């Protein structure tokens, strides 16, 4: 399996090298030259544990890793750090099935990929005889930052730098990052939104002067963002797992299709579901759920991507994004691997903030349904689900559920649907407690206590005592200070 850039470069990489590099030399993202077949019937995976299912998926994409190397990575990633014995429970609530991806150390779905990425990366460094140390540079809209910090903290041969929007994450998310321990961890708030941080990180990756400074200091850049193919591939496994659990529980029969509903901002999580379908998992419709920053909804309906719009800070901050990086990968696949076409669209996005796709790509988007939820609708979804089913959703999962309801009402489709439950409600306790009881005025960590008292749902171990931890990272940067900060750190 070789990997190439979405933007047409003729340079091919094996997966280990693509994981180390993070981003391609022409600013594109690495994609597999073909999406491999699963080569095993989902029914044959019934009764297997999560690690065994991951072991059936990952070697198809990472075939330059030996069986022993991948077994090491998978076994170290999906161990007792996950509070749920099955790692990813599938829970029926209301008229849907929730793929609970938040039982890792940081209580968000990013743990599923970022628990294994450090092992994939350090193994790749050995395989590629990489003498330099790795500088992990990551922008986060909230959850990637902590999960990456947790994964790479004190990993030998690495340093990790995380930028997050100072006023664009929840208090719990921020405290998780700013209290992070580890001699190789560096966390900075920025005066701006996630798009500002993500754009700056991409510019740093393509700045030869920064690369020169790092090389002189014995480092090379890589990323823990979903721009890194090593982040995306492990996510495919949990959609295969989800389908197998529905088979095991008798919800569907072999070969029957399901729908997948995913709350998404950067498009990586739903792209992983698309890869699962291309591998052979029967998925009928991809329900792409956005919050008020509904650039993806409009794109799916019109074929025009336009980030020239108001930016909203919402109760689902991990989706407060107007530039969805991983959409580029989907466009590449739907365009038949036409990298020049993708490069031109990305250039238009950079110049004008918008682009329009071809008829061929629009045809490929017919399997996608786009919808969004505003703040009031998100809160109503949390309350109604809890009152009617006793199931507690966070704000992002609530967006996914509300858009799924809209899809059902619009189409009448009763196909069993798997909803990606992306975070614990406690990560966004301020918004959740107000949804459950609008008269509540508590905020911050008092809101965590209030949700626990009201619902009896256990607070994740990783969030217990968070308010008492010492803040270790308190620097806030202007948007134009990120590059010089990276240079200063490694000079």
DSSP bridge partners of 189: 164, 476
Q: Can you give the pLDDT at residue 184?
A: 95
Each residue's pLDDT tens digit, 139-174 = 998 788 999 999 999 999 999 999 999 989 999 999
Q: What is the pLDDT of residues 181-196, one digit of tens each?
A: 999 999 999 999 989 9
Distance CA 148, CA 129 (A): 24
- Would residue 435 count as lying in a domain? yes
Residue 483 forms part of a structural domain: no
Residue 246 lies inside a defined structural domain of this protein? yes
Instruction: Tell me the H-state helices in 78-170.
Output: 110-114, 117-127, 143-152
- Residue 151: the pLDDT is 92
CB proximity list for 234: less than 8 A, separation 6 or greater: 54, 58, 77, 112, 113, 116, 117, 120
**For residue 456, is it left (φ>0), alpha (ψ between -120 and 50) or beta?**
left
Contact call for residues 329 and 264 (beta carbons, < 8 A)? no
**Along the chain (491 residues), what's the average pLDDT of each consecutive run of 10 residues?**
95 95 93 97 98 98 98 96 97 97 95 95 93 92 89 93 93 94 96 90 89 92 90 97 98 98 96 98 98 98 98 94 96 98 97 98 98 98 98 98 98 98 97 97 94 97 92 94 93 87
Name 491's Cβ contacts closer than 8 Å, sequence gap at least 6. 213, 217
DSSP string, 370-388: EEE--HHHHHHHHHHHHHH
Which domain does 325 fall in, by range?
A: 90-105+230-458
Residue 281 lies in a domain: yes
- Say how many domains are in the chain: 1
**What pLDDT shows up at residue 472?**
97
341 part of a folded domain: yes
> What is the distance between the alpha carbons of residues 354 and 347, in angstroms, rounded to a whole number?
9
pLDDT given for residue 70 in this prediction? 98
Cα–Cα distance, 188 to 477 (Å, whole number) = 7
In sequence order, the β-bridge partners of residue 99 are 90, 420
260 φ/ψ angles, rounded to the nearest 5 degrees:
-130, 125
Token pair recorded at residue 128: 């590629």
Judge whether 247 lies within some domain.
Answer: yes
Let me know the angle formed at the C-alpha of 49 by 43 and 53, rounded to the nearest 5 degrees: 60
Round to whole Å and give the CA distance between 142 and 2.
Answer: 32
**CATH for 400:** 3.40.50.1100
Q: Where are the alpha helices (DSSP H) in 7-107?
A: 15-21, 50-61, 67-77
Q: Does residue 250 lie in a domain region?
A: yes
Paired tokens of 147: 């999960």
Q: Which of 413, 141, 420, 379 is nearest to 263 (CA)?
A: 420
The predicted structure's pLDDT at residue 257 = 98
In a domain, 199, yes or no: no
CA distance 179 to 177: 6
- What pLDDT is stored for residue 353 in this prediction? 97
Cα(327)–Cα(304) distance, integer angstroms: 13
CB burial of 465-491 (b: ≥16 within 10 Å; e: otherwise) equals: ebeeeeeebeeebeeebbeebbbebbe
Q: What is the rounded distance in angstroms from the CA atom of residue 55 to the CA atom of residue 52?
A: 5
């Amino acid at each position: 399996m070789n990997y190439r850039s979405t933007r047409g470069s003729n340079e091919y990489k094996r997966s280990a090298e693509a994981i180390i590099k993070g981003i391609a030399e022409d600013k594109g993202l690495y994609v597999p030259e073909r999406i491999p077949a699963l080569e095993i019937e989902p029914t044959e995976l019934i009764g297997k544990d999560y690690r065994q299912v991951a072991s059936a998926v990952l070697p198809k994409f990472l075939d330059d890793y030996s069986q022993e190397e991948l077994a090491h990575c998978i076994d170290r990633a999906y161990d007792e750090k996950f509070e749920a014995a099955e790692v990813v429970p599938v829970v029926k609530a209301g008229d849907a099935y929730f793929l609970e991806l938040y039982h890792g150390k940081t209580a968000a779905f990013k743990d599923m990929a970022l628990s294994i990425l450090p092992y994939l990366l350090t193994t790749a460094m050995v395989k590629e005889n990489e003498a330099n140390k790795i500088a992990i540079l990551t922008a986060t809209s909230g959850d990637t930052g902590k999960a990456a910090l947790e994964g790479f903290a004190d990993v030998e041969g690495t340093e990790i730098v995380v930028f997050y929007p100072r006023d664009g994450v929840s208090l719990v998310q921020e405290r998780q990052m700013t209290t992070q321990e580890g001699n190789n961890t560096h966390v900075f708030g920025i005066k701006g939104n996630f798009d500002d941080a993500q754009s700056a990180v991409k510019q740093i990756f393509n700045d030869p002067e920064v690369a020169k400074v790092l090389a002189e200091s014995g480092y090379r850049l890589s990323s823990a963002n979903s721009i890194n193919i090593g982040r995306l591939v492990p996510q495919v496994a949990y959609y295969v797992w989800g389908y197998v659990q529905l088979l095991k529980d008798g919800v569907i029969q072999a070969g029957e299709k399901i729908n997948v509903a995913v709350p998404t901002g950067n498009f990586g999580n739903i792209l992983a579901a698309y890869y699962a379908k291309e591998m052979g998992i029967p998925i009928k419709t991809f329900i792409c759920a956005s919050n008020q920053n509904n650039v993806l909804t409009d794109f799916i309906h019109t074929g025009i991507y336009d980030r020239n719009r108001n930016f909203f800070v919402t109760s689902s901050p991990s989706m407060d994004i107007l530039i969805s990086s991983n959409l580029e990968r989907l466009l590449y696949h739907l365009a038949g691997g036409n990298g020049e076409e993708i490069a031109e669209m990305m250039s238009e996005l950079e110049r004008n903030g918008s682009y329009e796709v071809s008829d061929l790509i629009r045809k490929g988007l017919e399997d996608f349904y786009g919808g969004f939820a505003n703040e009031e609708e998100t809160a109503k979804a949390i309350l109604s689900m809890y009152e009617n089913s006793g199931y507690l959703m966070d704000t992002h999962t609530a967006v996914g559920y509300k858009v799924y309801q809209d899809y059902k009402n619009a189409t009448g489709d009763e196909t069993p649907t798997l909803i990606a439950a992306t975070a614990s409600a406690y990560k966004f306790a301020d918004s959740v407690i107000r949804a459950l009881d609008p008269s509540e005025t508590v905020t911050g960590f008092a809101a965590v206590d209030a949700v626990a008292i009201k619902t009896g749902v256990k607070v994740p171990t990783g969030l217990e005592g968070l308010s008492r931890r010492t803040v270790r990272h308190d620097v806030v940067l202007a948007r134009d200070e990120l590059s010089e900060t990276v240079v200063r750190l490694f000079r």
